[in-house]
Amino acid sequence: MRTEIKIIENRLGEKVTGTHPIGGGCIADSARIDLESGQSYFLKCYNTNNQMLINETNGLRELRKAGAINIPEVIIADDTFLLLEYIEPGRQKKDFFSIFGRQFAQLHKCTAKSFGFYEDNFIGSTPQYNIPTQNEATNWTEFYFQKRLLPQYKVAEQNGYADAQISKLFMKLENKIADILTGTDESPSLLHGDLWSGNFLIGKNNTAWLIDPAVYYGHR
Under the phi-then-psi rule, with left for phi > 0, alpha for psi from -120 to 50, and beta for the rest, what region is 14?
A: beta
Give 160's contacts (C-beta < 8 A, 6+ positions apart).
Answer: none
Helix (H, G, I), strand (E, B) or coil at 42: strand
- Residue 83 in contact with residue 160, Cβ under 8 Å? no
Q: For the chain, what is the largest distance between any 2 Cα atoms, rounded to a whole number of angstroms?
A: 62
Whether 194 is a known active-site residue: answer yes
Catalytic one of 34, 185, 194, 212: 194
Q: What is the phi/psi pair of residue 51, to 5°?
A: -65, -35
Closest CA to 33 of 68, 9, 67: 9
Mind telling me the catalytic residues? Answer: 194
